[in-house]
Amino acid sequence: MKLGRIPLGCAVAPFLAAAAVAVAPAQAATVKVGVVLTYSGGGAELGTQIDRGLELFLKENPDAFGGHTVELIKRDSKRPGGDIAKNAVQELVTREGVDLLTGFVFSPNAIASAPLVTQAKVPMVVMNAGTAWIPKLSPYIARVSFTMWHAGYPMGSYAHDKLGCKTAAAGYTDYPPGKDSLNAFQTGFEAAGGTLVEAIPMGGPREVPDFTPFFQRIKDAAPDCFYVFVPAGVHTAAVAKTYIATGMKDQGVRLIGPGDLTQDTKLRGMGDEMAGLITMHHYSADYDTPVNKAFVAAWKKEYGEDTTPDFMGVGGWDGMAAIAHAIREQDGDITAEGTMKALAGWTYASPRGTIMIDPETRDIVHDQHVHEVVKGDGRLMIKVLDSIPQVRDPCKALMIGKCK
């Protein structure tokens, strides 16, 4: 909360008072930021990535906040169900009086909290949750991460046109971003002339299912490509294992998906047989740019040589950069309208490349890259094969479903 400006004494002569008004500095404000992340349970490593990203930004950029102080008030949303996150938001808004909300790994947690954002007029900066229509749920939501369509839609046309897949099957985790990712891929793939032969829901986001029966079904359908969206983390590692164990690779079914499937933190634990996997995404720790190299070096210095940031860590970093900008622009006096106005058209040199908040949709605009998993440097790493610059969310651009 901003403390207001230094009050002027009544006894001060009018000309002195006028001079004092002109030079009086704004008092440094303490801006309370409510951080809702999944710090425990199956999604703990995802929440921790984002937390590390946002904390690193604060540490490395103390001057980015216009002289104001940020007080982080953290809450654990524990699981993807929405209820715990919503209660946390309620408490942060009513009891803690936060000026701003951020975090949100899982879409249902952002979706359940959206009505409170509108009612309380406390702005939300989404650091991960990727269901395309989330910013449509409140005029006070902006997103710095991605939408499921940024990767899924161009992956559809790339699979058909460049990978030569005439048929494809899709497997997805059965919750909003999974359905959204399927929809994105199917729309892009069919528009390019491909045929989707199967679309299989593969359990919910909370528990990692045994993927074997789903993969077996796909194997029997023998498509050219198998598009998979599962939430990053423990699900990703299990998909890689099951793909090899079921012999799908040997059969010649090509595994593809958004970059959640080749998350930097999980890539290290995958076997060499995953080399050749193609995904579409906006970030890898292996990007060879000065901004990213500096970011990865700072990360390793802070958290250990054997750690790596991934797209979630970058979401935390960029989210805090956006919050810093909003605080600076409003001189510490945060309102929902003021925050959205400050973020509209904001551009930033992120470790992922140039990002921008689309003033019309309040959603992120960023480059997409075709990632190939290659062997190098004693580990699996990402090689960029192709890039699509500055992609606006295709779901909103095409006005599909709830994105209208």
Binding site for ligand PHB (CB under 6 A): 105-107, 129-131, 177, 231-232, 260
In the complex, least distance from residue 67 CB atom to ligand PHB, rounded to whole angstroms: 35
At 266, give phi and psi (nearest 5°): -90, -25
In the complex, least distance from residue 208 CB atom to ligand PHB, rounded to whole angstroms: 13
DSSP string, 307-361: ----HHHHHHHHHHHHHHHHHHHTTT---HHHHHHHHTT-EEEETTEEEEE-TTT
In the complex, least distance from residue 73 CB atom to ligand PHB, rounded to whole angstroms: 22
The CA angle 265-268-269, to the nearest 5 degrees, is: 100
The residue among 187 and 265 lying less far from ligand PHB, judged by its C-beta, is 265
Please count the helices (runs of H) and the strands (runs of E) in the chain: 14, 14
The residue among 107 and 246 lying less far from ligand PHB, judged by its C-beta, is 107
Rg (CA), the chain: 22
In the complex, least distance from residue 362 CB atom to ligand PHB, rounded to whole angstroms: 16
Partner residues linked to 364 by β-bridges: 357
The residue among 67 and 204 lying less far from ligand PHB, judged by its C-beta, is 204
In the complex, least distance from residue 370 CB atom to ligand PHB, rounded to whole angstroms: 18
In the complex, least distance from residue 112 CB atom to ligand PHB, rounded to whole angstroms: 12
The residue among 132 and 327 lying less far from ligand PHB, judged by its C-beta, is 132
The residue among 32 and 366 lying less far from ligand PHB, judged by its C-beta, is 366
In the complex, least distance from residue 289 CB atom to ligand PHB, rounded to whole angstroms: 23
Residue 141 tokens read as 């939501």
The residue among 65 and 229 lying less far from ligand PHB, judged by its C-beta, is 229
The residue among 70 and 202 lying less far from ligand PHB, judged by its C-beta, is 202
Strands of the 30-37 sheet, one edge to the other = 69-76, 30-37, 100-103, 124-126, 141-143
The residue among 108 and 332 lying less far from ligand PHB, judged by its C-beta, is 108
Asked if 196 contacts 190 with a C-beta cutoff of 8 angstroms, the reply is: yes
Report the alpha-carbon distance of residue 7 to residue 271 in Å, rounded.
Answer: 65
The residue among 38 and 187 lying less far from ligand PHB, judged by its C-beta, is 38
* Burial of residue 198 (number of CB atoms within 10 Å: 0-12, 13-18, 19+): middle
In the complex, least distance from residue 201 CB atom to ligand PHB, rounded to whole angstroms: 15
3-class SS of residue 261: helix
Report the alpha-carbon distance of residue 39 to residue 315 in Å, rounded.
Answer: 16
User: Helices 311-329 and 336-343, interaxial angle, to 10°?
Assistant: 110
In the complex, least distance from residue 105 CB atom to ligand PHB, rounded to whole angstroms: 6
Report the alpha-carbon distance of residue 100 to residue 150 in Å, rounded.
Answer: 26
